[in-house]
Each structure stands twice: as structure tokens, then as C-alpha cells.
Structure 1
Amino acid sequence: MQDYFQKAELNLKKIWGFDGFRPGQDEVVHSVFDGEDTLVLFPTGGGKSLCYQVPATVFEGMTLVISPLVALMQDQVQQLKAKGISATFINSTIPSYEVEQRLVNARNGMYKLLYCAPERLKTNLWEAELPRLNIDLVAIDEAHCISEWGHDFRPSYRDIRESLESIADQTRWIALTATATPEVQKDIVDSLGFEDANVISRGFSRPNLKWWVVKSPNKKQKLEESVKKGAQKGDGLIYGGTRKNCELLAERFSCMGIKTEAYHAGVESEERKAIQQRWISGETPLVSATNAFGMGIDKPNCRYVIHEEMPYSLEAYYQEAGRAGRDGEESFPILLYRESDYHKADERIDQGYPTLDELDHVYQVLCDSFHLAVGSQMEESMSFDIEQIKKRGKVKYGKARAAMRLLDQFDVIAMQEEVKPAVSVQFTLSQNAMKTFREKCKNDEKAEFTDKLERMFGSLAFKEMVQLDEEYVLDKLGIRRNVLVKALNVLMQNDQVLVFEMHKQRSLVKVLEARSKKLPMTKKEVESHRNNLFRKLEHMHGYILTVRCREVYLRNYFGDTGAEPCGHCDNCLKTTASEEVSPTDEEIKAVYDELESEERTVSQLCSSTGQSKRKVQQALQFLIREDKVTTIPSKPGYYCLL
């Protein structure tokens, strides 16, 4: 196995240009080569991908990468190809004939890495091809999706081991995640059948980050103060919640002399890329963004990240705030909070989360919009507009969007938002006739252009429409979009040798199974996920309310129980007088005893125990962390014993 590792180090230098593995990466790669079942817990930006990509270049066979993130899957494949590594992906966004072709190519040893969405493992085509594939390593990215206690649970992840059972003992396994509590880690290990898992963690300590919570009824003023101070340190990022708020923030701070740009799903894809690049280069020192910002973006010198709105989970907060200070220099994750934020978040989950009946209604409306009969199955993904679902089903926009996301999460549908612009072409002549057309063509440029098109779109385009990314086509042809459209129009209208379509950026969706009369989800599944969201919100609220070290609170949540106070978060820097706010064991017991008789609100507990509101809140957060107390989703503001 030492030969394997030496070759891995050579490939790391030759292909990626790195002199050596980072601390932790080398341990993981050794573990993989030794055939140990490996669970990797590295923070965002910690280099998880290299832990399976580099070994993939060493193994004779193929590495199968399970990932739920379509966009990231495509980006990684593109990056690998650019480095000369053969890779591809299969998911619900590509036609079935293309999936079949890629699996045939995989069987013939054409790929080093095959990225695959988890639901694809359940298809008849996959099951038929699996025995013929030479898989040396199975890598499960975003492994927290396995656990119903995770922040992005996907049921199809729990079936991975079963789907790959026939090769389970003949291949190596690695699972990777940036955020997993101890219960999620155990769930991952149990679900994947890791008998003696080698858990490798780089820990959740970020000693250069100064965790800070600013509590104030006037968040606007505090935000301005925070940005002014942060701007003296360097570039920053504000998570502003809504699209409208991000636009307002960009305008406000630009007027104050700090160039700021708004990033959200309403901004065109190319412009978003340009905004990212301007921020990374330092041309734009501040971005106000929705939580769509950040995936795959590596800016080492981001000095501050401000959350103007309270995130719904510590997992989300840790990942987003952790975009600060990736270069190891002092940086500031700041969370602005006013008392009403928690109740607003609690209410949003309560009112925005669809019931089983509402989910079923959206599912049926979606199927109707695609003219999908009961028992029929979709062959390919199709464009959809959430506004159409809203109008057709008479559903509020927020509820329709939440329902679509939940249906996607539970693998009822596969949704891909903001798909890149594309070009579809089908030749109307036979291949021989097209060859004759080129030979007789008096315009050499036109003949060369059609030859390039034929090579690019392939022989399948003589039978049906073939779609390629617009950016890829323009790059290969070396022309601008308006020139491409003009040339294709000439070939379609004047020469009548092809038909074509230009697709704008759009969203795609596919109903994964044959349409059923009733939504294939149970009330228990729906309510369990909803209750988990409330549970995670409580832990997030606990982070805000705690008077102890914030880094210790975060690290304890993720299972790092040996954490010592950091000495530099806002709580650590306060006077010891703040410690007096912490409730004693007797005061915590008094709160617990009151809840034994009936459910209570904070104000009711204050009255019955004679304690301050602060102490009651601290006691409740302690009891919630100990899994002794929980909130009541149907009665916001009330607490009861578990």
C-alpha cells in the first residue's frame, strides 16, 4: 500500500500542483488504501474532495462518488476533465439514452470517477450494469444526508449500502461530511454497515475566528457599525435573508462608500459568476447575499461574515460563518439578533412547512401540469415555473416552494434550479446527405461550421434533438451567442439541414417514479422531518442565548467534548459578572419540575419559579441539549418534557 501512497503523492503534485497533502488528508488517503471503512469529518474548505479524487487516479478500477448536489457534481466533473482525468456523472437531468451510454462507457473502463445521484442506484438499468462495473472505491459525499437527524436528510441515502450490497465487501468505502453531530455520525456508520469505522476528524475548532453575537432591537444601526469596523479589516460577506433585502443592503453600503453587490437567485447566472469573481479578486469588497452564495467559492481572505437574520440550524450557520478566515488570519463571524427573530423563525417553520395533504396537492398539480397520467413515468426532466404551480394549484408561493423542496428532498421528484442556458440541435438530413451538402457547399466557412456541429452533437443528433450547454458550444466554436443564433437560423431556414432551439436559464424537474394516486410519503415521515427542524432551531437559539464560550457551544454540538473556552468570543471577553446569569442545578431542576405538571411558556415559568427570564431561557436550553425538554410545534412558545 506504500506504493499506492507514493503514487498518490506524485499525482497530487503532477495533476493538482500541491507539494503535499494537508494535515488529515494524508491520514484519510492511507486509510482508504488500507481498505478501512473511513468516515471523514472535515470543515467546509478542508479539502474533502481530494481524499477520494487522488486515490481514484491510483486505483486500476473506477471510483463511484454518490452526491445529491447536481450543480456541484457537474462542476467537479468539469474541473477533473480540465485536469485530464476521465470523469462523468449520471443523474435525473440527463436523458435515459445518455445514462445508458455513460454506463456502457463505465463498463468499458473509460472513467476514473463516476458521479451518481443516490436515487439512480435504485433503477433497473443501474442494477443490471452494477455487476459489470469495476468499482474500487465508493465515496459518499455529503454523508450527513443519510441521517434523519441531519440537516439535509435524503431517504435515498439510507438505501446506498443495500443498493450496492453485491459489491459491498469487494470495494473500499469512504463517507465525507463537513457537519455531523455525534448522533448523525453514528447513524452514518450504522446505515453504511461500517463495522470498525476509522473516523478521521480535523475537529471543529477555528481558533482564528472570533465568534460574536450582537443583541439589539436596532439591527440596522448595529449592522452599519459592524460593516464599518469590518471594512477596516478587509473584505466581507452579509447574509441578508431575502432577495429584496440583499438589494437594499447593496444600495445602502455602496452609498456609504463601500462597494457592495447583491447576489441571489434573481440575478442572471453569468452576472452571479462575475459578482463572485469580483469579490474573490477584491474588486468588490462586500457582497450581500442569500444563503445560495458560497458553495464551491474559496476566498481565503474574507475577514468578516455577518448574518443579519438568524439561521435555522447550527449546521447552516457553522458552514456559512466559516467562510471567514480560511487563510487562518483573525476574522469575525457576527450574528445580529433581536428577540423577535426566534419567534419569527419558529413561525416561519410552522406556517411555511406543508402538511401531507398540501404536499399531495402540489404533487398532483405538478403531475397534471406535465400531463402525466396515473401509472405513467417521465422519461426526461422538463422545465417548470413555480409560479405556474402556485396559480394552477391556488397555493401560496412560499408554501408551493417549500412543498417542491420537500418533495425533492424525499426523492419524490428531482429538481434542478437555475440550469445553465443550452442549445439543442437535430439534423434533418442523413449523415450521407449532410456529407454531400458540405462537399457541394460553395461557402467554405459554412461547410467547416456544419462539420464542427456534427462532430460536437454526434451521430445521435441525426435521430433526435441533442442538447449541450450553451457555454460549451460557444467555447468550442470560438464565437459569440448572436453569431451562433444567426448561423443556425441560416442552416435551418435557408438550407433546411437542421432544426434547433436555444434554451434560457431555467429550472428542471422530473417525477422519479410512475405517478401514483396518492403521494408516496407518510404523515409520520413529514411530521418527523418538521419536528427535527424545530429541534435544530432550538439549538441555534441556544447558541445565541448562551453566556458561556460560543466556540465551546459549537464544538460540543458537533461532538468535540474536550473543548476549552476560546478566550476571544464576545462571551469570553465579557466580565465574570455575566457568569452569574447562568442558572444553578437547583434552578434548572425547578424549571424541569414545573414542566412535569404541564406545558409552559417562558413567562409562565418565570412566574412559577421566581427566576429571571434570562435564567429560565438558559435552563430550557440546557434541558433541550440534554434531550429532556422540547418545544411544541403546534403551540409556538410552549415547552414540555420529552
Structure 2
Amino acid sequence: MHSHPQEILQRFWGFENFRSPQLEIISSILDKKDTIAILPTGAGKSLCYQVPALCLPNCTIVITPLIALMQNQVENLRKRNIFTDYIHSGLKNYELDRIIDNARASNLKILYVSPERFSQEKFLSQLQSLKIDFIAVDEAHCISQWGHDFRPSYLEIKNFRKNSSITFLAVTATATEEVKAEIIEYLELKNAQTFSLSSARSNLSLSVRKEENKIDQIRNVLFKFKNAGLIYSRNRRVTSEYADQLRTYGLKVEAYHAGMLPDSRSKVQKNWMENKVQYISCTTAFGMGIDKPDVDIVIHTELPVSLEEYYQEVGRAGRGGQKSYGLLLYNERDIKRLQKIFENSFPGIDYVQYIYKCLCHFLGVAESSIMESSVDFDIDKFCFQYKLNREICIAAIQLLAQSGWLISNSAFNIPSKVIITANEEALQNLYTRDPQSKNVIIAMLRQYEGILSVPTTISEKDIAFQCQLQEEQVVKILLKLHHEEIINYIPKREKPQILILNNRVRSNHITLDEKWIQQRKKILQHKIESMIQYVNTNECRQKFILQYFGEKSTHHCNICDNCLAAKKLKLPHTTKEKWTIEILELCYNNPGIYLRSLYQYFPSNKQHWVDEIIQELLGEEKLFRKFDKIFNTKPE
């Protein structure tokens, strides 16, 4: 007999009621039915596995690739006195063993695990020894090649399913029909119950503007708002430049990107959450797990690679239900940049083999040797040392990861570790001369088992609470004790991690699946073309996105730029007939003509009419499009 979900919700989260369809999803899990939950960002996906985990007697496994989010959820659950922990690819063997032992002793209710672990036989064997109620697969779109963030490590999850009848919950924010079908196939879900909410946002007005002078446009827009906003760029340098320029106009703006120190990023985020700063100029490193209800405007200064990425980021506006706005600024350079991204995403096998060889040399991995655990990886230092193009190098590393040769994680918090190295006599001397340090040492001895024998993960915040000190004071004391050789203290840090899998091989033994790469090219091309089609469409923008996600019953939003423009202007029938003939003739005589060249044959203030005709001809397959070129026959 398990606890009632409503009781769990009220006791641990203080909410009176579930949102639809949270309770239905939870009930499906409690009835031991495989379940798929497709819920947009902000719909409360995490409660769909956290609540049933507390209703049931044993441990729940949550698989997620987002290590920063994993750490954030574990921290929040621990504050609610829910016993939880996480296992990522960077843990050493003794740390993994300790966590598994805790779970085996029924000391954990929820255990977060990175998907890479499911390719390791030792971990699978350890998992078999646990009493597991169900497994939740978060960000389940990663299992699909059609997903916007495909991770081959997700395909290994089925290795555990083969010998188990455990219930599975697959959770994702968006999923096309292709993605949903592959989730069911690759997780081997049986008669899966599917619950979904429309991704439609009735309060979000989407607009696109073709703009050369973006900073002036951004400034003019931001002055219209009183509440918070986000300005997304894809380049660290640009985020800082925009922040600097916008501050000169009197706007309260701060920059945020992965190149900043963790403390600086935390301070910027805290100031924004507390409304001390109105706007954040940021890269996509900002926003994951952030739920701020009063964001009124999200501006993208460049084209994202996919509609999935764009809709997730722009969806951070209007969480409080208020009217909100998403503005996408682009120009011809942005389209060329997307084309360049496509070209750089699939380097040849010779280059990939060379990157593998350089990585092994850089990391000090000798031939036939093996890495015990992941290590910090500075991509900029690596590219500088070997004189590599950063973008192409990252693509090669991703191909190696997706082909199972290595594991590469983006930056995440690596907690502090301490081992007490001093003997009993040295400790007693310290206790006599330094009462404050004595309190810190005793607090660690009481709280952290094994700290005298192995480097142990600690929390400066928890120690500060026990000793009635500020966290900064605890850090200073630990650093002092480290210099006095009483302890060995490794402060928390945030860096990307990398791990060469299995024994190092000769670089010419590195192989890639050419058929799989061609499939990935096709998928990426589809995503980029859909993004370009989105900025050029004259249809309702929200309807365009929802249909891309496979939602069939969609209506015009009536608040996007295109819906508002359509109310003002309609293409006359006679003009449409005349221009249709002219456009077909131009495309017949100039195969592969650029869209911008087509515009030159028609009045400059009627570009939207040309777009409308072209969209219709594309739909009827009388014309075909590849990136920004128009053809009268289907291009190869």
C-alpha cells in the first residue's frame, strides 16, 4: 500500500492540487504502466517522477544528461528532507560504490544517473542488486536521432531493460511523431500510456525582423518594458558587448556566459532573480532550470540551429501568464552562419582520427592504457595548443562521443573534497591554539564518514550552518588548514569534463558509421531548413512551430507579427495569379536562384506577398528550397 500522491504533494511541496495531467501520469506509474509524458517547459515535469518515487517503498532511478540540472534537483530535494543522490560520468569508483551501498541499504529514495553509466557492465551489475520501483528517463528525446539533442548513450538504457520488467516513464518537453516512435522503440516500452499538453502559448506573441543594426532595435524594444527580459546571443564576446552598449543607454543589463567565473555567474543570476538587474545578455548557458514568472521579453539576436532550441528559450517569457513577447532578429549573415555550422558539423574521418590522437596526447593517455575517471578539459587551451578550428574540433569531439569512443560533458559543478591528513597529535595541537578551526574539523568528522581515509565530498554551506559561521569564513578556514597541511582541500569548481572510453587504440583504428552520419546530416539539414522557413513564413508563427512538433489541431494565435499583419494586408487575387507565373518563370530560367534575388523583381514593400506565393508553391511542390536557394526541380 503506497502513500497517496496528494498527501505527498502537500507534505513536501506545499501545493494543494496537481496541474493537468500530472496526477494522471503519476497514477499510470503507480499502476505499473509504461508511460510517456510530453509536457512543455514549465508544466511541472519533475513532479511526475518525484511524487510517485515518494509514494513507493524502494528507490527510483532518474536518467538525465543535464548534470547541472541533476545537481540542482538533488540540492532542492535534500532541502525538503528527501534522501537523494546522483551518479555522473566523473565519479571515481569508490564514490560510485558508496552511493550504490547507500541505495542498497534503502537510504535513497531517488537516484539520478547520467546515461553514459548504462554502457558500463559494472554499473549495470550494481543496478541489478537494487530494489527499484521504476525508472524515469528525463529529456527522453535524446534517445532519438530525430531529437534536437541526440545522445547515443541513451540507446544503452535498453541493456538494463532486457533483464527487467521495471516500469519506465519517458519525459520530454517536445516530441515530433518520429521522436515519439523512436522513444517507444528504443526503450522497448510496452503498451505505453501517452499524456501530452499542447505546446501552444496563448500569451506569447512571436515576431521576426530582418535587421542589420540589431543593437538599436534591441535598445528601442527594451525601453518599452518594465519587467525582466533575456537577450540571447550565440557568442560570449557578443553578449558582453551588447551588455556594455545597452548600459550606456541607461538600461540595467548584465552579461552571462560559460566563460565567466562560477561566482560571477551566480551573482548575476541572483541579481536578476531579485530584480536588481532587469535584463540578462546571455548565451544558451543561461536559463536551464530557471523559472522566473515576470519575464516579459526574450530577444534572440541570431538564428538558433533548430526550432526546438528556439521554442525552449523563447518559452521562458510569460511563465506568470502575462502577455509576453519573443523577438527574433536576423540578417543574411545569420543564414550563412547556419550553412557554415552544417558544413563544419561533419568533419572527415582523417580529421576525427587526428583529434582523437591529439586528445590522448593532451590528456596523457598512453597507447593501450585506460582512464579511470573523467578529467577537466579546457577546449580553448586544447585548440590553441594544436592550432585547431574550435567549431570543427568540437564537432569532431561530438562525433567521437556519439560513436562511443569518449564521453564529453559540458561544464558542471564539481563539489569540494576534503581528506584530513594530520595525525591525532597534530589535531590536538590545532584544537588547543585555534578553536574556530577545531569546530570546523569536528563538524566534518561528525558529518562525513571516511574523511580520514579518502577525499570526501563536503558542503561548505552545511559546515557553516553547523558552526554558525558564514560560508566565506569556512572556505578561508579550510584554505588555511590546507596550507598548514592539516587537510587536503580541493575547492569546488566548474569545468567541462572528458573521458576516453576503454583502452586507447591507434588513431587509424577509429571508425565512424557512414550510414549513421548521412542520417544525421539529413536530420540537421531538415532542422536548419525548418528554422529558415520559420523566419520567412507568412503564416501564423506559433501554428508553424506547433505543426513542426506534430500538433495537428492548431489555430492561429492572432497575436504574432504575421497574424497582426494579415489583418491589415491581403494579397489581391489578380496580383497573385500574375506574380505566380512570373516567379515560376524566374525559377525555371535561374535554377537555384537566391530568395533575395527573387525579391528584386518585385516592389520592395511587397516582399511578404512574394513569400506567401513561394510558400504556397513549395507546399504544392512546384518549387523546392535548399537553405536560401529556390529550385524548380528537387535538388539533390
For normalisation by structure 1, the TM-score amounts to 0.87
- Alpha-carbon contact 1:262-1:289 (below 8 Å) kept: yes
Deviates more, 1:295-304 or 1:270-279: 270-279
Q: CA deviation at 1:413?
A: 3.0
Residue 80 and residue 122 in structure 1: after superposition, are their counterparts in 2 closer, same or farther (change >3 A)?
same
- Alpha-carbon contact 1:160-1:192 (below 8 Å) kept: yes
Alpha-carbon distance in structure 2 between the residues aligned to 1:204 and 1:100: 41
Q: CA deviation at 1:289?
A: 0.9
Alignment RMSD: 3.6
Deviation string, structure 1 residues 325-360 (Cα, Å, up to 9, x no partner): 011111111111223421222123324653333232
Letter in 2 for 1:384: F
Residue 578 and residue 165 in structure 1: after superposition, are their counterparts in 2 closer, same or farther (change >3 A)?
farther
SS at match of 1:458: coil
Deviation string, structure 1 residues 172-228 (Cα, Å, up to 9, x no partner): 211111121121111112222224222211111110111111233443332222222
The structure 1 residue matched to 2:510, chosen from 493, 515, 519, is 519
Q: CA deviation at 1:395?
A: 0.8
Deviates more, 1:437-446 or 1:581-590: 581-590
Residue 610 and residue 266 in structure 1: after superposition, are their counterparts in 2 closer, same or farther (change >3 A)?
closer
Letter in 2 for 1:209: L
- Alpha-carbon contact 1:269-1:418 (below 8 Å) kept: no
Alpha-carbon distance in structure 1 between the residues aligned to 2:551 and 2:535: 19
Deviation string, structure 1 residues 586-634 (Cα, Å, up to 9, x no partner): 9999999999999734469969x9999877866776788899998769x
Letter in 1 for 2:390: Y
Q: CA deviation at 1:10?
A: 0.6
Equivalent position of 1:49 in the other structure: 46
SS at match of 1:173: strand
Q: CA deviation at 1:393?
A: 2.5
- Alpha-carbon contact 2:415-2:493 (below 8 Å) kept: yes
Residue 568 and residue 97 in structure 1: after superposition, are their counterparts in 2 closer, same or farther (change >3 A)?
same
Equivalent position of 1:450 in the other structure: 441
Letter in 1 for 2:274: S
The structure 2 residue matched to 1:323, chosen from 316, 324, 334, is 316
- Alpha-carbon contact 1:303-1:331 (below 8 Å) kept: yes
Alpha-carbon distance in structure 2 between the residues aligned to 1:523 and 1:596: 35
The structure 2 residue matched to 1:540, chosen from 531, 536, 555, is 531
The structure 1 residue matched to 2:563, chosen from 572, 579, 582, is 572
Q: Does 1:332 align with 2:332?
A: no
Deviates more, 1:403-412 or 1:218-227: 403-412
Residue 489 and residue 324 in structure 1: after superposition, are their counterparts in 2 closer, same or farther (change >3 A)?
closer
Q: CA deviation at 1:434?
A: 2.5
Residue 302 and residue 357 in structure 1: after superposition, are their counterparts in 2 closer, same or farther (change >3 A)?
same
Equivalent position of 1:264 in the other structure: 257
Alpha-carbon distance in structure 2 between the residues aligned to 1:299 and 1:45: 10
Deviation string, structure 1 residues 375-408 (Cα, Å, up to 9, x no partner): 3221122122113321332212333334334544
Residue 227 and residue 409 in structure 1: after superposition, are their counterparts in 2 closer, same or farther (change >3 A)?
farther
Equivalent position of 1:27 in the other structure: 24
Equivalent position of 2:497 in the other structure: 508
The structure 2 residue matched to 1:465, chosen from 455, 459, 480, is 455
- Alpha-carbon contact 2:272-2:278 (below 8 Å) kept: yes
Alpha-carbon distance in structure 1 between the residues aligned to 2:579 and 2:118: 53
Deviation string, structure 1 residues 46-85 (Cα, Å, up to 9, x no partner): 1000001000000112111111111111111111111111
Equivalent position of 1:174 in the other structure: 169
The structure 2 residue matched to 1:309, chosen from 302, 305, 310, is 302
User: Unaligned regions of 5+ residues in structure 1, if any?
Assistant: none
Q: CA deviation at 1:321?
A: 0.5
Q: Does 1:396 align with 2:389?
A: yes
Alpha-carbon distance in structure 2 between the residues aligned to 1:360 and 1:475: 51
Alpha-carbon distance in structure 2 between the residues aligned to 1:490 and 1:555: 57
Alpha-carbon distance in structure 2 between the residues aligned to 1:592 and 1:94: 61
Equivalent position of 1:381 in the other structure: 374
Deviates more, 1:256-265 or 1:407-416: 407-416
Residue 624 and residue 261 in structure 1: after superposition, are their counterparts in 2 closer, same or farther (change >3 A)?
farther
The structure 2 residue matched to 1:600, chosen from 592, 595, 598, is 592
Q: Does 1:84 align with 2:81?
A: yes
Equivalent position of 1:228 in the other structure: 223
SS at match of 1:335: strand
Letter in 2 for 1:549: C
Residue 30 and residue 487 in structure 1: after superposition, are their counterparts in 2 closer, same or farther (change >3 A)?
closer
- Alpha-carbon contact 1:119-1:411 (below 8 Å) kept: no
Deviates more, 1:477-486 or 1:69-78: 477-486
Residue 578 and residue 12 in structure 1: after superposition, are their counterparts in 2 closer, same or farther (change >3 A)?
same
Q: CA deviation at 1:524?
A: 3.4
* Equivalences for residues 105-116 of structure 1 within 5 A: 105-116=102-113
- Alpha-carbon contact 2:419-2:454 (below 8 Å) kept: yes
The structure 1 residue matched to 2:13, chosen from 6, 16, 20, is 16
The structure 2 residue matched to 1:251, chosen from 244, 247, 250, is 244
When the two structures are aligned, how many residues end up with a matched partner?
627
User: Unaligned regions of 5+ residues in structure 2, if any?
Assistant: none
Deviation string, structure 1 residues 108-137 (Cα, Å, up to 9, x no partner): 222111111112112122222233211111
The structure 1 residue matched to 2:33, chosen from 32, 36, 40, is 36
For normalisation by structure 2, the TM-score amounts to 0.88
